[in-house]
Structure 1
Amino acid sequence: MPVVRTTVVVVTWRGAGHVRACLRGLAAQTRPHRVLVVDNASEDGSGELARAEGVAVVRLARNAGYAGGIAAVLDDVDTEFVAWLNDDAVPAPDWLAHLEDALDAGAAAAGARLTRPDGGTQTIGVGLTALGYGHDRTDGEVFGFCGGAALLRVAELRAVGGVPAAFFCYYEDTDTSWRLRLHGHEVVAVPRATAAHAHGATARLGSRQFHLWNERNRLLMLARCAPGPVFARELARFAAITAKVVLRRPEGANFSPSLRLRVLGQVLVALPGTRRAGTPEARRRVWARWAGR
């Protein structure tokens, strides 16, 4: 029998409209693999639809988010590799083969090319701005993988601290990529590994909650992965903008005083338990190499 080297983790929440297409895309893969669906306490029958496709399903008692869903089953993964795949992404038949080949060539993590419904490229991975924001890249080198469709070495993932479950969703991929780089590992883009992505089929992009997770998780990522002065600068900048927002009250969910104050509060509460990743020298080296790209 062919050796199964990869467990594909698909986290679903209210994914009844698209999880079946995702799983059928996995069923058509040219490489053997195991599929593990994490049902984030859906109320629309997503888990039952997944079971009907013949895959294993773990139903959580509450919605733990994308990061929390992957983290919840990482200990159950007994294969060499683990894939993260959004429930609204449909992988091409050779998607897994290209990603496994990239890890066999030495990478610790490899990201696929996600395509939009019109066929254009949404992302091949993540870049890192000079302010410490992650952003989609469509060509060239990538700092990190996009968590919507990626493959990682399980041993290396566990060794650098696993998946940041507390992030709930957003920035868990950039944070994980950063920690891998801090420990000397390579993260690559594999544009030939493609998956058609509905992007935001379940998440409300641009909502207050979206901005809360984005801003909070970016700061927490910087707290443990960036050089200390970079984190201090960005925390101070966020606080200064928040003070201006309170006085001027501009429009836009990202400029809601209450939202920004919640971000600051949650970051300050989490800081005492935030463990720095890598060494100070590694944090300076990785930042100098990748910030602004």
Structure 2
Amino acid sequence: MTTMAMNVAMTGQAAPEPLATIVIVNWNGAHLLPPCLDAVAKQDAPFTFETHVVDNASADDSREVLAQRYPWAKLVPSDRNLGFAGGNNLALRGVTTPYAVLLNNDAIPEPDWLARLLAPFAEPGGNRLGAVTGKVVFLPRFLRLTLSTHTFSPGPHDPRELGVRVSSVTVNGREALREVLWEKLTFGAEGPADAPFFWTRGEGELCVPVPEGGPATIGLTWAADTAKQVTLGWAGAGDTTATRTLPVGTEPSTVSFTVDEGAPRVDVINNVGGIVLTDGYGADRGYQQIDTGQFDNPEEVFTACGNGMAMRTELGQALGWFDDDFFLYYEDTDLSWRIRARGYQIRYVPGAVLRHVHSASSVEWSPLFVFHTDRNRLLMLTKDATVRTAVSAVTRYPLTTASIAVRTWRQALRSRSRPAVRPTVLRVRVFASYLRLLPAMLRRRREVGATATERRVSLQSWLVER
């Protein structure tokens, strides 16, 4: 309940019309809803708002949690999982407030988040704003670790220079591998979704989530091509620097070390607005950068993040909100592109802060993640980009798939092993699904073009070189 709503209730005055509706999509998130909704209840805003929770046919006790602990949140039930796009649309199509606000069930807003997010619409020039997006940081705070070791090359068909293979990271005995931020050190997750591992480069930085108070004991399970040493370093209390040189062998082994309570913990950025690269890939602006205030100024951005964006309801209705066929991922980038095609701006507001559990609902680089990000990128470009950009991306995809298949079979023949066909099969499924939806996307492309006030070639001036 907002501060205004509490004051109205105490004085017996008639409640003013709500300014915004917060929409939260939930799927099997009974453990995520309490911290999210508790933070929504603590929003300190000079206006009233509604909260709608879409439950995407959860199999856990999400609906019981809502009924018992959060009766003020309106439940919007679905009898099947509609994904992020369809789930949001189920509620958004019934919103009657001037603004609609999207919030992930695994995000925790700061108390002034909503007020700061909506403020730009009432400021000079706010009539040209179609959407506003805030700052999203990862939920925990992190210890910055540097790693350095000798590298090796795995062979002629893998040009990478590899350091060590990490299969587990624990913090005070709790597994934290999926919460570690690896962007500046590794080549991404490898192996099966239920047992991922990471190959490091020779040197770089990783961020490990650690508690605020007290020392933290960090454990690493790793292996390498040969026995060698790995040097880890981190900032200590004051201006000190701590280092540990630890052994790694050819078989997985676990080493541990303790970080004192004075070691600084930092916030790491998840999203401060979005960008689209010239090859059509979307990206989080500022992703995995240490938050040192480099994004503390409001500015116009190309896309808004679906976690923590506010939008004019009237505009959303005119655009048809999200594209239901996207299901999951790139739906916010597609919607932002269409907002801009109508001549509206999108503004980033640094004071509207969310803390986010990254990939709590779908594991990054899982088959689910890869399928929808690959397919939806092609769908988005088909709808929104210039013909040249769209055709280039779409034709490149099957050619790359064929190249991967040939390379996989050649490697299997040389090593006399079974080929890893799953990645190729997944890409074939992606393209088959894209082709199935192509007629609908071409029809929607014509609809976007018929109502656009900005030319596609002009909008693509926002695209960023890789």
> So what's the TM-score if we normalise by structure 2?
0.60
Aligned to 2:436: 269
Cα distance in 1 for partners of 2:347, 2:365 equals 28
Match in the other structure for 1:212: 371
Q: 1:113 aligned to 117, 125, 135, which one?
A: 135
User: Given the alignment of the two structures, is residue 134 of structure 1 paired with residue 156 of structure 2, yes or no?
Assistant: no
Q: Which residue of 1 aligns with 2:50?
A: 34
| 2:121 paired with 1:103 | yes
- C-alpha displacement at 1:280, in angstroms? 9.7
SS in 1 for 2:24: strand
Q: Is 110-119 or 225-234 further displaced after alignment?
A: 110-119
Please, which of 73, 88, 106 is the counterpart of residue 88 of structure 1?
Answer: 106
1:291, distance to aligned residue in structure 2 (A): 4.1
Deviations 1:107-149 (A, max 9, x none): 1111111111213221111111111111111246521111111
Tell me which amino acid in the other structure corresponds to 2:427: R
Q: Specify the alignment match of 1:59 in structure 2.
A: 77
Q: Which among 265, 285, 291 is matched to residue 458 of structure 2?
A: 285
Higher strand share: 2
| Secondary structure class of the residue paired with 1:62 | coil
Give me the whole-angstrom Cα distance separating, in 2, the residues matched to 1:194 and 1:123: 10
Distance 2:103 2:357 in 1: 12
Task: Determine the C-alpha separation between the residues in 1 that align with 2:456 and 2:274.
Answer: 18
Q: Report if the CA contact (8 A) 1:208-1:254 is conserved.
A: no
Q: Which residue of 2 aligns with 1:47?
A: 63
Change over 3 Å in CA distance of 1:238–1:50 after alignment to 2: same
**Aligned pairs, how many?**
292
Q: Structure 2: give runs of 5+ residues left out of the alignment.
A: 1-14, 142-266, 287-294, 413-419
- Which amino acid in the other structure matches residue 8 of structure 1? I
| More helix per residue | 1
Distance in 2, matches of 1:239 and 1:34, equals 46
| CA–CA distance in structure 1, aligned partners of residues 54 and 360 of structure 2 | 17
Whole-Å separation in 1 of the counterparts to 2:453 and 2:426: 32
Matches of 2:351 and 2:462 in 1, distance apart?
26
Cα deviations across residues 78-129 of structure 1 (Å, max 9, x unaligned)? Answer: 1011111000001111111011112223211111111112132211111111
Give the counterpart letter for 1:148 in structure 2: N
- Structure 1 residue 209, shift from structure 2 partner: 1.2
Greater Cα shift, 103-112 or 193-202: 103-112
Q: Does 1:180 align with 2:180?
A: no
- Give the CA deviation at 1:289: 3.2
Report the secondary structure of 1:3's partner residue.
coil
2:36–2:106: 8 Å Cα contact kept in structure 1?
A: yes
* Matches of 1:254 and 1:10, distance apart in 2: 37
Contact 2:300-2:346 within 8 A present in 1 as well: no
Residue 123 of structure 1: aligned partner:
271
Q: Which one-letter code corresponds to 2:29 in the other structure?
A: G
Quickly say closer, same or farther: Cα 1:40–1:254, change in 2 above 3 A.
Answer: farther
1:13 aligned partner: 27
> How far apart, in 2, do the equivalents of 1:238 and 1:255 lie?
16
User: Which letter does structure 1 place at the counterpart of 2:426?
Assistant: L
CA contact (8 A) 2:405 2:421 kept: no
Tell me the amino acid that sits aligned with residue 129 of structure 1.
L
Query: Once the two structures are superposed, what CA deviation does each residue of 1:207-256 show, in whole Å capped at 9, x if it has no partner?
Result: 011100000001000001000111000011111101111211289x9981
Contact 1:83 1:151 in 2 (8 A): yes
User: Residues of 2 paired with 1:187 and 1:29: CA distance?
Assistant: 23
* Residue range with higher mean Cα deviation, 45-54 or 146-155: 45-54
Retained in 1: the 8 A contact 2:93–2:317? Answer: no
Offset of residue 197 of structure 1: 0.6
Root mean square deviation of aligned Cα: 2.0
Give the 4+ runs in structure 1 shifted more than 4 A: none
CA contact (8 A) 1:160 1:183 kept: no
Cα distance 1:191–1:237, how it changes in 2: closer, same or farther (>3 A)?
A: same
Q: Does the 8 Å CA contact 1:142/1:189 hold for their aligned counterparts?
A: yes
Are residue 160 (structure 1) and residue 319 (structure 2) matched? yes
TM-score normalized by the length of structure 1: 0.94
Deviates more, 1:239-248 or 1:208-217: 239-248
Q: What is the CA–CA distance in structure 2 between the aligned matches of 1:85 and 1:292, rounded to whole Å?
A: 30
SS of 2:93's partner is helix
After superposition, residues 144-159 of structure 1 pair within 5 angstroms as 144-159=303-318
Q: CA deviation at 1:160?
A: 2.0
Evaluate the alpha carbon distance shift between residue 241 and residue 191 of structure 1 in structure 2; reply closer, same or farther with a 3 A threshold: same
Q: Secondary structure at the match of 1:76?
A: coil
Amino acid at match of 2:272: I
Q: Which has the larger radius of gyration?
A: 2
